[in-house]
Amino acid sequence: MEYVYHPHGVCSMEIKFNIDGDVISNVRFTGGCNGNLKAISKLIDGWTVEQIAEKLDGNTCGMRATSCADQLARAVREAYAAQSA
């Protein structure tokens, strides 16, 4: 299932990804630091929600309390909870 998340407090405007059970794939960011976000997307392809949350949750960007990576962790947890409901 494809999931779309609209992040808050970061430069990226949208995060799209596929979720199958607890496995995340095909992560795409709209906006943000293009090269870094493409790299993150490639690195985490096939990871579980728990693995992504463990590595990326709480990551900050500059003086911001969040980052695109932190927002991705929130997005995958939200998607997992939504499909489980």
The letter for the amino acid at 71 is Q
| CATH no. of 2-84 | 3.90.1010
pLDDT digits (tens, 9 = 90+) for 17-28: 999 999 999 999
The residue extents of the domains of the chain are 2-84
**Residue from 51, 46, 85 nearest 73 by CA:** 51
Structural contact between residues 17 and 75, judged by C-beta atoms closer than 8 angstroms:
yes
pLDDT over threshold 90, residue 32 = yes
pTM value is 0.96
Cα 32 from Cα 83, distance rounded (Å): 27
Residue ranges in 28-67 assigned as alpha helix (H): 34-44, 49-56
